[in-house]
Each structure stands twice: as C-alpha cells, then as structure tokens.
Amino acid sequence: MSIGVIPANLAKPPPNRGETGDLRMRHRLPGSSILGPVSDLATVALLLAPLVVAAAITAGLVALAGRVVAWSWYLALVLSPVIYVVWLWVFLVLSGLIVGAIGRRHPKPRFRAIPGQTHVRAVLKDDLGVITAIVCYRRLALVQGLPFIHVISAMPLFFRTVLRAYSPSATIGHGGVSWGVIYDPDLTSIGDQVVIGGGAVVVAHSLSMRPDGGLVYVSA
C-alpha cells in the first residue's frame, strides 16, 4: 500500500468507522475462541515490560543527575515534564525493539482464517502472525493515549520512532509527516513530502469476526 502526497483538507476519516477504524476496539475474539485469551496474555506481557523497563532507566538517569544537582521536591515538580518526555522516548525506543523482533519472527499474515474453538496449541503453532497483528493494534491504542504523543509524532525527527513503537517496520519518505492515525506502517509506504491530515485514518488490513467466534484477517 503506497501513499503519495495527501493534502490536509482531503485526508479525512472514513464516514463509518468499523472495527479497523476505532482505537477503542479491543481486537479480541468473542465467544469461547482461544485466540482472545492468548492475545490478551501476550499483550499484557509485551506492554508491561517496556513500561517498567523505561521507568527503571528513567529513574536511573534521575539518580545520576542527582549526583550533579541537588534534588528537591519543587525542582522535581518543575522538571516533571522533562522527566516524562525522557521516559516517553525510552519507552518508544524499547517498544520499537520488541515489536521489531516479534514482527521479524512472526510477521502479519496476508490472509488467515481461524475457526472458532481453535485449540491453544494450534494457535501457538500456526497463528502467531495474527497474534502479532493484534498485539500491534493494541499497542497502537496505548501509544495514541500517551500525553504529548500527537505533538512529537508530527515532528519528522520522532515520526519514525512513534510508528516503530507499534509496528515491526515503517517505510517513510523524506519529509513525511502525519497528524492522523496509521494502523499498519509496516504495510504502508509513505512517499516523500507526504502530509497526512488531522483526523485521517490509514488502514491496510481487515479483521472480521465469524458467528462461531472465528476470525478472518486480511492485510495489504
């Protein structure tokens, strides 16, 4: 999927946001399908790890700074936005490393149909690519909810870092910037000087639920 130059006034959200266009959707299977719990556990583990490690690294940096500057409660309060930005950057970098490693080993599938009542062993053997996709979309929901993320994601210096925080890879031309939401940076090619307008949603996959609790995943 390739994107050329998109004027900001033309890049608008689709009129009807379905399952792929709403960050509030949980991307899990209904009913008793095993893929939902498996993806839930994977999501929790893969989300908590970078959050905790980023906090530990940031605390270490603050402790080192305390050896140079005498810390006090009011100084910590004044510098709290700076400390948060440091934590945010560390979290985004760690997330990119984790998602990149997972995506290289288990990339998103082009097409996958999973019947309802699928056994957990079959999921872990044949459907880890789908779990990768679900984990990426849930991580996107987390990243989009972080303070300052929309500001720094519009800066070319941080644009790729933000995309890589929830995508195994990202193809971005020179000077590309986005004020919208790109669900699948690894499946979307963004050309030079591309501007994706505010409120735009770029989706390169379809995720459908079957009545029996099964799932059909299709990507570009």
pTM for this one? 0.74
pLDDT tens profile 52-105: 899 999 999 988 888 888 888 788 889 899 999 999 999 999 999 999 998 999
* Domain span at 66: 2-219
CA 136, chain centre distance (Å): 5
C-alpha radius of gyration, the chain, whole number:
19
Segment holding 97, helix H or strand E: helix 80-105
- Specify the number of domains making up the chain: 1
The pLDDT assigned to 7 comes to: 43
The pLDDT assigned to 173 comes to: 87
The pLDDT assigned to 38 comes to: 58
Coil, strand or helix at 189: strand
158: its two tokens: 């941080």
The pLDDT assigned to 3 comes to: 59
Q: What is the dihedral of CA 214, 216, 217, 219, to 10 degrees?
A: 180
Tell the residue number behind the tokens 């669900």, with chain if given: 183
Instruction: Give, in order, the Cα–Cα distances in Å from 173 to each of 99, 135, 156, 168.
Output: 21, 26, 10, 17
Coil, strand or helix at 208: strand
Q: Where are the alpha helices (DSSP H) in the chain?
A: 35-66, 73-78, 80-105, 120-126, 128-144, 149-153, 156-164
